[in-house]
Structure 1
Amino acid sequence: MNKLPPEALEHVANYFRTLSEPTRLRVLNVLGTSELSVGEIAQLVDSSVANVSRHLAQMAQHGLVARESRGNSVYYRVADPTVNELCDLVCGSVARRFDQVVSAHAAFVASTAPARRRRAG
């Protein structure tokens, strides 16, 4: 992001906005490195075909997924494999922060346990 012009930053913000919707993240997660039809994706993310189609259109607009028509079906795949790397990086960071919060909570509970036992007794 070093010295990017405002127009480029707007594109970056739109890219991240597209990734900010949980259903879209679930779609990317089920696609992984495979190729699936809209119906298969909808079933795997427990959503309607119409809803998944709407999300896929948004993701295709920002270059996250690519589509290919075959007969009566449309198949989608991750167009930019770096999106998987980005999601792995962010998920790892979130998991580490969650672990820190859990550890801090456990330490707090452990440090207050003797005081609670004295009051209960």
Structure 2
Amino acid sequence: MKAPEDETLYRLADLYKVFGDPTRIRILYALSGGELCVCDIAELLGMTQSAISHQLRVLKQSALVKFRRDGKTVYYSLADAHVATILAQGLDHVQE
């Protein structure tokens, strides 16, 4: 099996770094149940909206979450089914 190009490998390593933070994992799990606004995520996780917004920015930059506006409220959700699959497979792996 031929290894991917270096640039692709660096992007993959950066993606896995994003998964290296437990808070971001908790946010992704919260969003796996459906879209939420920052205030709902903050309440679920017992954190400040500022802290959640910071982590959501990282998740958006890595294309793991997407968002939509409804008036002044911004709702976040998982970017696609791949994100849910990565979470599920990672959890399966660590629970074996």
Q: Tell me the TM-score range normalised by the shorter chain.
A: over 0.9
Q: Which structure 2 segments of 5+ residues have no match?
A: none
Q: Which structure 1 segments of 5+ residues have no match?
A: 97-121
Conserved? CA contact 1:33–1:78, under 8 Å: no
Instruction: Kindly report which structure 2 residues correspond to 1:25-104, keeping only aligned pairs within 5 A, or say none.
Output: 25-96=25-96
Conserved? CA contact 1:63–1:80, under 8 Å: no
> How far is 1:81 from its partner?
1.5
- 1:3 maps to which residue? 3
Q: When the two structures are superposed, what TM-score results if normalisation uses the length of structure 2?
A: 0.94
SS of match in other structure, 2:46: coil
CA distance in 2, matches of 1:2, 1:89: 23
- 2:13 maps to which residue? 13
Question: How many residues align structurally?
Answer: 96
Structure (1/2) with the larger helix percentage: 1
- 1:118 maps to which residue? none
What percent of counterpart residues are identical?
30
The letter of the residue matching 1:49 is Q
The letter of the residue matching 2:75 is Y
CA distance in 1, matches of 2:7, 2:38: 33
- 1:108 maps to which residue? none
TM-aligned CA distance change 1:2 to 1:84, over 3 Å: farther
- For CA contacts below 8 A with separation 6 or more, give which structure has more relative contact order: 2
Q: When the two structures are superposed, what TM-score results if normalisation uses the length of structure 1?
A: 0.75
CA distance in 2, matches of 1:61, 1:29: 18
